Amino acid sequence: MPSVVEPAVSSAVPQSASPFGAGWQKSMMWVFIVTDALLFAGFLASYGFVRLASPQWPNRGEIFDLRLIALMTFVLISSSATMASAVAAAQRQDRKMAGRFLLLTLVGGLCFLAMQAYEWSHLIREGATLHSNPWGVPLFTSCFFLITGFHGSHVLTGLIVLASTTVRNARGRSTTYGVEVAGLYWHFVDLVWVFIFTFFYLL
Amino acid sequence: MSSTGSAASYKGYWITWGIMLAITAIMLAADSLPWSKFAVVGLLLAAMLVKISLIGGEFMHLRWEKPLLVWAVAGCILFFSAFLFILIAFDGIRIAGMLQP
């Protein structure tokens, strides 16, 4: 008897309830961010373990082009700033400006993914796979492809969310709240990159 | 939503962007500093924490959220990450010690 049960459930969970002073959508996005952050923490802890337990580790300066990584970081930080500006514009009910900033964020995300694809193809051409590489430590590329690939999949998901938000904004169907929740996810992607950038490319 | 209504400032976001770029430049240049490896690692970790605080506080608006939400998010991530890293670090250091000639 779902027709009888449903009203009872919905009355038990009032729609106006606002945990932590934020709406449900935003609260649930924060819950997702916390769980996803712990997943990345697990990956990075595993990477730290593998690195500590390995008698030798490849010299990152000989493998990565740090200029490209710096450019990728610049693009992602800039896209985070444009996303924050899109949220600010949406809060001011300036739909046109919000749309422009959302488009800029999309372009930034696409550029980042393109550069990551270039970096991957470059390493693969040099003989790097998930199980082996020319630098003598197979786990190095296992960690690299797993962690950067998982982050890249988050960027791709973010781009889909942003594209949807941009189209909805252009049609006048998005809310300030929707733009803000999409922004939270995009900033999280940027936040995770800060860890990857530090632990993988600099330390 | 209302809790973050005061956060909307283009100028503030672009100042944060500039600071983050400057920190990134310092991080990239850290390797060439005539410092010990320990000091360079300390600088990189400190710079990383500042960048994370800027993204969380300014871009994700945690500065304007209720303290309960901030503590629930930051506390949960910090506690479980530290738990994970500390447990794994002990084993990693032990194995690294075993591998020493």
> pLDDT digit string (tens) for B14-37?
999 999 999 999 999 998 888 888
On whether both B75 and B36 belong to a single domain, the answer is no
Weakly modelled stretches of chain A, pLDDT under 50: 1-15
On whether both B31 and B75 belong to a single domain, the answer is no
On whether both B55 and B19 belong to a single domain, the answer is yes
In this prediction, residue B55 carries a pLDDT of 95
CATH code of the domain covering residue A164: 1.20.120.80
Domain count, chain B: 2
On whether both B90 and B44 belong to a single domain, the answer is no
| Gap from B34 CA to chain A (nearest CA, Å) | 16
On whether both B60 and B75 belong to a single domain, the answer is no
Instruction: Name the residue range of residue A159's domain.
Output: 77-203
In this prediction, residue A53 carries a pLDDT of 82
Q: Which residues contact B54 (CB under 8 A, 6 or more apart)?
A: B16, B19, B20
Instruction: Please name the member of A21, A37, A197 whose beta carbon is closest to the beta carbon of B3.
Output: A21
Q: What number of other Cβ atoms are within 10 A of residue A116's Cβ?
A: 19
In this prediction, residue A35 carries a pLDDT of 94
Q: Is residue A32 part of a domain?
A: no
pLDDT higher than threshold 90 for residue B84: no
On whether both B4 and B51 belong to a single domain, the answer is yes
In this prediction, residue A13 carries a pLDDT of 43
Q: Is residue A1 part of a domain?
A: no
On whether both B59 and B71 belong to a single domain, the answer is no
Q: Is residue A182 part of a domain?
A: yes
Q: Is residue A41 part of a domain?
A: no
On whether both B82 and B45 belong to a single domain, the answer is no
On whether both B23 and B46 belong to a single domain, the answer is yes
In this prediction, residue B8 carries a pLDDT of 56
On whether both B46 and B57 belong to a single domain, the answer is yes
Per residue in B41-80, pLDDT tens?
999 999 999 999 999 999 999 988 888 889 999 898 889 8
On whether both B59 and B72 belong to a single domain, the answer is no
Instruction: Assess contact for B9 and A188: CB atoms under 8 A.
Output: no
Instruction: Please name the member of A23, A49, A183 whose beta carbon is closest to the beta carbon of B88.
Output: A49
Q: Is residue A60 part of a domain?
A: no
pTM above 0.90, yes or no: no
| Beta strands in chain B, from DSSP E residues, in sequence order | none
What are the CA-CA distances from residue A184 to residues A32, A53, A86, A111, A140 (Å)?
11, 36, 12, 20, 31
Instruction: Please name the member of B7, B68, B84 whose beta carbon is closest to the beta carbon of A41.
Output: B84
Q: Is residue A27 part of a domain?
A: no
Please give the Cα distance from A181 to A197 (Å, whole number).
25
Structure tokens at B61: 């608006």
Residues of chain B contacting A77 with CB distance shorter than 8 Å: 17, 20-21, 24
Q: Is residue A103 part of a domain?
A: yes
On whether both B11 and B60 belong to a single domain, the answer is yes
Q: Is residue A69 part of a domain?
A: no
Instruction: Name the residue range of residue B101's domain.
Output: 66-101
In this prediction, residue B96 carries a pLDDT of 72
A190 reaches B (C-beta below 8 A) = yes
Structure tokens at A110: 């696409």
